[in-house]
Amino acid sequence: MPYTYNTPAQQKEMLEAIGATSIDELFDSIPDNMKLGRALQIPSALGELELTSHMQELARQNSDITHNTCFLGAGSYDHFVPAVVDALASRGEFYTSYTPYQPEVSQGNLQVMFEYQTLICQLTGMDVSNASLYDGGSAAVEAMLMAINITRRNSRVVVLESVHPEYRQIISTYFATIGTEVVTVADSSQLPNVLDENTAAVLIQSPNFFGNIEDVAAIADQVHESGALLVCSVDPISLGLLKRPGDSGVDIVVAEGQSLGTPLLYGGPYLGIMACREEFVRRLPGRIAGQTVDQDGNRCWVLTLQTREQHIRREKATSNICTNQGLFALRAAIYLSVMGPQGMRDVADLCLQKAHYAQQQLTHLDRFETVSDLPFFKEFVIRDKQNDVAGLLEKAEDFNILAGVALGRWYPELEDCLLIAVTEKRTVHEIDQLVEVLGS
């Protein structure tokens, strides 16, 4: 990081240039009663040596996955990130560039967006992808808003309870202010009771929050019969094995893209994936890069369908999110192109096999039982018959194992349940150790 200095002489010169006498004068427009009126109560500045030690001391208090074996999931996953992702994404041309305000000058950035969109379309089986949104949760809410726009039905949306609880919370927050009712149902068998001619969309997640795979095609038929759209949140890694949402009748696909080449990063920033069928492209929020030719006939890229974006259409814009996660979209594009179709299948297969091995070993123990017979991918729920999930997690931590996520936090009726994710990174030895520690 560059050190940008600012000497008293330079400050004086700058103040003179703009005709101000002091820096405080620049803040004159803030009423006095809103100013703090005293010095900040923070320790005095440290020297570089002391500061470095201090920061290292603070960093040592972090618990991370290089010193622990991670079975945590619930939306963020410990997948392997090949070195080439960092090597390419950390190039200055990508790493330091801010969103291009004159986009066509930044052909490299636009090409990355275009390649990313192409890969997402191939992965999801959808026709069009945008150049990404903030994260999986904000992509889910944008998809629901988009469905309201498309169907011109604004009185109701339906969400399955097996969708990530935090995504559901984001939707509730948005929809409380726009006056659309958010109906939450336990599972897809209840959809006939709540779908009506005013329902804009149904949001499902597959594999869902508990790791189970939904019957997406059957749900799609049901939803379409009522004239609503089906929005499906997916795990992009699962698409190495599972049927693509575009082939199951999904109208808008959203996903948390962190699994594609981005580390856990203590929860963010992540990557919001969003793709839809072509007929909805004009309602798709965010930026879209398109391929064309310049005046000499050479291949080049442009931002397309910009007329609906907020810098042109203001309050009538498709969405007021016009930022994308360019750097993480780049990482996803590198990851997907390095893995290729076979690599994606291999990773998904490893996750599936290892997760099923872990689930079998754990449920052989007397203490644990399954809660569902539904098929699962890389994540599953076990019930602790002794109802001491907190004790189990604490015990595992003593062995440097992050054993799973306690479900009671979001689902009180599942307070004796643990959500365990197993990625391709986990070894048989690590899984056996988890089983041994939890069973002891």
Partner 1 sequence: MNAEELLYCDTHEWVFVSEQDGQKIATVGISAFAVEQLTDLVYMELPAVGAAVTAGEEFGEVESVKAVSPLFSPVSGTVTEVNEGLPDNLDVLNTDPYEAGWIMKVNVSEELPESLLDHATYQRQCGEAS
Under the criterion CB under 8 A, does residue 308 sit at the interface with partner 1?
yes
Q: Which is nearer to partner 1, 60 or 316 (CB)?
A: 316
CB of residue 282 to partner 1, shortest distance in Å = 6
CB of residue 106 to partner 1, shortest distance in Å = 21
CB of residue 315 to partner 1, shortest distance in Å = 12
Under the criterion CB under 8 A, does residue 197 sit at the interface with partner 1?
no
Stretch that binds partner 1, among 10-18, 177-185, 308-316, 361-369 (CB under 8 A): 308-316
Query: What's the length of the chain?
Result: 440
DSSP 29-86: TS-GGGS--S----PPPPPHHHHHHHHHHHHHT---TTTSEE---TT-------HHHH
Stretch that binds partner 1, among 47-55, 153-161, 309-317, 343-351 (CB under 8 A): 309-317
Within 13 Å of residue 192, how many CA atoms lie on the same side as its CB?
A: 3
Q: Which is nearer to partner 1, 60 or 152 (CB)?
A: 152
Instruction: Check the CA dihedral 94-96-100-102 and report its sign.
Output: negative
What kind and span of H or E run contains 191?
A: helix 191-194
Q: Which is nearer to partner 1, 200 or 401 (CB)?
A: 200
CB of residue 312 to partner 1, shortest distance in Å = 6
Under the criterion CB under 8 A, does residue 364 sit at the interface with partner 1?
no
CA distance 255 to 140: 8
Beta bridge partners of 199: 156
Cβ proximity of 197 and 168 under 8 Å: no
For residue 304, CA distances in Å to 77, 315, 365 come to: 33, 19, 57
CB of residue 102 to partner 1, shortest distance in Å = 17
Binding to partner 1 (CB under 8 A): which residues in 130-189?
A: 152
DSSP 119-184: HHHHHHT-SEE-S-BS-HHHHHHHHHHHHHHHHT--SEEEEETTS-HHHHHHHHHHHHHHT-EEEE
Query: CB atoms < 10 A from the CB of 268, how many?
Result: 14
Contact map string, positions 232 to 271, toward partner 1, x by CB under 8 A? ----------------------------------------
Binding to partner 1 (CB under 8 A): which residues in 271-300?
A: 282
**3-state class (DSSP) for residue 309:** coil
Beta bridge partners of 417: 383
CA distance 377 to 384: 21
Stretch that binds partner 1, among 306-314, 352-360, 369-377, 378-386 (CB under 8 A): 306-314
Under the criterion CB under 8 A, does residue 311 sit at the interface with partner 1?
no
Q: Which is nearer to partner 1, 224 or 308 (CB)?
A: 308
Query: How are beta strands 69-70 and 401-402 bridged, if at all?
Result: parallel
CB of residue 133 to partner 1, shortest distance in Å = 21
Q: Which is nearer to partner 1, 122 or 310 (CB)?
A: 310
Instruction: Please pick, from the candidates 12, 35, 91, 313, the single residue that binds partner 1 as defined by CB under 8 A.
Output: 313
Q: Which is nearer to partner 1, 35 or 282 (CB)?
A: 282
Residues touching partner 1: how many (CB under 8 A)?
Answer: 7
Q: Which is nearer to partner 1, 56 or 102 (CB)?
A: 102
Q: Which is nearer to partner 1, 307 or 360 (CB)?
A: 307
CA distance 433 to 261: 27
- Which residue from 145, 190, 180, 188 is spatially nearest to 163, judged by alpha carbons? 188
Stretch that binds partner 1, among 257-265, 304-312, 376-384, 407-415 (CB under 8 A): 304-312
CB of residue 104 to partner 1, shortest distance in Å = 14
Under the criterion CB under 8 A, does residue 316 sit at the interface with partner 1?
yes
Stretch that binds partner 1, among 260-268, 312-320, 339-347, 391-399 (CB under 8 A): 312-320
Q: Which is nearer to partner 1, 317 or 374 (CB)?
A: 317
Instruction: Please pick, from the candidates 20, 51, 84, 312, the single residue that binds partner 1 as defined by CB under 8 A.
Output: 312
| Secondary structure in 3-state letters for 343-365 | HHHHHHHHHHHHHHHHHHHHHHC
Q: Which is nearer to partner 1, 67 or 314 (CB)?
A: 314
Q: Which is nearer to partner 1, 25 or 279 (CB)?
A: 279
CA distance 432 to 179: 50
CA distance 122 to 109: 20
Angle (CA) 274 280 284, round 5°: 40
Site of interaction with partner 1 (CB under 8 A): 152, 282, 307-308, 312-313, 316
